[in-house]
Amino acid sequence: MFLQKYRKAGFKQKFMFWLGLTLVLSIGVFSIFAPFITPYSPREIVGGSQNPPSLKHPMGTTKLGYDVFSKTIYGSRMAFTAGIIASVLALTFGLPLGLVSGYTGGFLDRLMVMLMDALYSFPGLLLAIIITATIGPGVFNAALAVFVVFTPQYFRVVRNHTLSIKQETFVEASRALGASTLLILIRDIFLNVVQSIPVIFSSNAASAILVLAGLSFLGLGITPPTPSLGYELSAAQRYLDNGIWWRALFPGIFMVMIISGFSFLGEGLNEILNPPADQG
Partner 1 sequence: MLKYIFKRVLLTLPMIIILMTFVFIVIHSAPGDPATAMLGPRATEDRLNKIREQMGLNKPILQQYFDYIISTFRGDFGKSFVTREPVINLIGSYFPATLELTIYATGVAIIVGLGLGILGAAKSGGVIDFACHTYGILIYAVPVFFSGMLLQLVFGIFLGWLPSSGRIAGSVPVNVTGLYTVDCLITGNWSSLVSSIKYLLLPSITLGLFISGFFVRMTRTNLLQTINKDYTRTARAKGVREITILFKHAFRNALIPVMTIVGMQFALLLGGAILTESTFAWPGLGRFLVLSVNNRDYPAVQGIVTFFAFFVAFISLLIDVLNAYIDPRIHY
Asked if 140 touches partner 1 (CB under 8 A), the answer is: no
DSSP state of 43: T
3-state helix, strand, coil in the chain (%, to 5): 75, 0, 25
Q: How far apart are CA 247 and CA 239, in angstroms?
A: 9
Rule CB under 8 A: choose which of 73, 113, 129, 193 binds partner 1: 129
To partner 1, the closest distance from the beta carbon of 118 in angstroms equals 4
Q: In this structure, which amino acid lies at residue 103?
A: Y
Asked if 135 touches partner 1 (CB under 8 A), the answer is: yes
Contact mark string toward partner 1, 205..234, x via CB under 8 A: -x---xx-xx--xxxx---------x--xx
Rule CB under 8 A: choose which of 61, 72, 226, 263 binds partner 1: 263
Q: In this structure, which amino acid lies at residue 170?
A: F
Q: How far apart are CA 145 and CA 123, in angstroms?
A: 13
To partner 1, the closest distance from the beta carbon of 180 in angstroms equals 33
Q: In this structure, which amino acid lies at residue 10?
A: G
Rule CB under 8 A: choose which of 53, 58, 96, 252 binds partner 1: 252
* Among 25, 57, 23, 63, residue whose Cα is nearest residue 40: 57
Q: How far apart are CA 90 and CA 122, in angstroms?
A: 17
Which residue ranges make up the site for partner 1 (CB under 8 A)? 12, 16, 114-115, 117-119, 121-126, 129-131, 133-136, 206, 210-211, 213-214, 217-220, 230, 233-234, 236-237, 240-241, 243, 245, 248-249, 252, 255-256, 259-260, 263-264, 267, 278-279
